[in-house]
Amino acid sequence: MSKLRIDILGTAFSIDARADEAYLRLLLENYRKMTDLVELNSGATVTDPLQVSVMAGIMLCDELYKEKKKGETSKRQVSELPDMQEFERRTLDMIARIEQVVN
């Protein structure tokens, strides 16, 4: 169990989590980068910490969605490949034939 002190967007609190402390710090740092990006790219239009937090959350959801779509595309491409079991069967058959010729 790890304890992490979060101090971001004018709010500070501590959490207890089962994850490794280094991992939690990595997540917090990535979130902090996202909130900084929101603040920089919005100019002066998004200044309220709650708005920044919501926008950062939406941007992170967008990244997650895009990664899931990439994964689904990759799975679909793999599933469209010829059956891997058939490749394995043919490979083993060729190995057996080669062994017969060699021996």
For the chain, the domain total comes to: 1
Chain segment 13-68, per-residue pLDDT in tens: 999 989 888 999 999 999 999 999 998 887 778 888 999 999 999 999 999 999 98
- The pLDDT score that the predictor gives to residue 81 is 67
Chain segment 67-81, per-residue pLDDT in tens: 988 887 777 766 666
Task: Output the pTM of the full model.
Answer: 0.63
Provide the residue range defining the domain that includes 22.
2-102
Q: Which residue's entry shows tokens 């010829």?
A: 82
* DSSP string covering 18-70: SS-HHHHHHHHHHHHHHHHHHHHHTTTS--SHHHHHHHHHHHHHHHHHHHHHH
